[in-house]
């Protein structure tokens, strides 16, 4: 376990739970910032960019001895980023797009203290079954898809829609915990 004071610049309950696996002294402190992406940015670059700006915003409100960790996760199909669905029609469209295909989930993470920072990203390929109209309608009738990128949460009811993954499962949940632990240990050294 990491024993340094960690500030997690995220309001995600999933990230809060996951970071608890590697650090005990964690304070949740999200700071609002402008998350507008530059034009033409790819999915991997987007998550790294967003994790950096979230980290910079949080760093301004942090003590010099605190380590700040920020993250951002996106779902992408052919490098097209799928955000959180606005409504049922949007969720339906996203799930139809994902149906029967392999897509990517990217999470960018930035670690900083008052002297340095490091940013990395992780990619996981996720394969969806061919979804029936009934499966999509049942899923979008739940409350689950509306606060999640790509309109699904792998850890919830959507697990029955997913044929397989190649990569880190926890990256799809929102935080690549195993890699974060190693990156954090190297950062502290």
Contacts of 114 (CB under 8 A, 6+ apart): 59, 64, 65
CATH of domain 6-188: 3.90.950.10
Which of the 8 DSSP states describes residue 29?
Answer: -
* The two structure tokens encoding residue 170: 């926890």
Read off the tokens for 88. Answer: 């049922």
Per-domain residue ranges of the chain:
6-188
Beta strands in 40-155 (DSSP E): 67-77, 80-82, 102-112, 117-128
Catalytic residue among 34, 65, 72, 90: 72
Per-residue pLDDT of the chain (189 residues; tens, 9 = 90+): 787 889 999 988 889 999 999 998 999 998 888 888 999 999 999 999 999 999 999 999 888 889 999 999 999 999 899 999 999 999 999 999 999 999 999 999 999 999 999 999 999 999 999 999 999 999 999 999 998 999 999 999 999 999 999 999 999 999 999 999 999 999 998
**Residue 168 annotated to the active site:** no
């Amino acid at each position: 376990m990491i024993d340094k004071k960690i500030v997690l610049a995220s309001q995600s309950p999933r990230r809060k739970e996951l970071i608890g696996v590697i650090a005990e002294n964690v304070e949740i402190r999200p700071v609002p910032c402008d998350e507008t992406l530059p034009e033409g940015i790819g999915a991997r670059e987007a998550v790294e960019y967003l994790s950096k700006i979230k980290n910079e915003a949080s760093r301004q409100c942090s003590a010099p001895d605190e380590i700040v960790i920020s993250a951002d996760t996106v779902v992408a199909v052919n490098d097209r980023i799928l955000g959180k669905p606005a409504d049922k029609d949007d969720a339906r469209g996203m799930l139809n797009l994902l149906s029967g295909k392999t897509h990517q989930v990217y999470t960018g993470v930035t670690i900083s203290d008052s002297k340095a920072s490091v940013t990395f990203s992780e990619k996981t390929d996720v394969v969806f079954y061919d979804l029936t109209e009934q499966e999509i309608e049942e899923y979008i009738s739940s409350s689950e898809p509306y606060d999640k990128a790509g309109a699904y949460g792998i850890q919830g009811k959507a697990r029955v829609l997913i044929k397989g993954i190649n990569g880190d499962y926890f990256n799809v949940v929102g935080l690549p915990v195993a890699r974060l632990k190693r990156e954090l240990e190297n950062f502290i050294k």
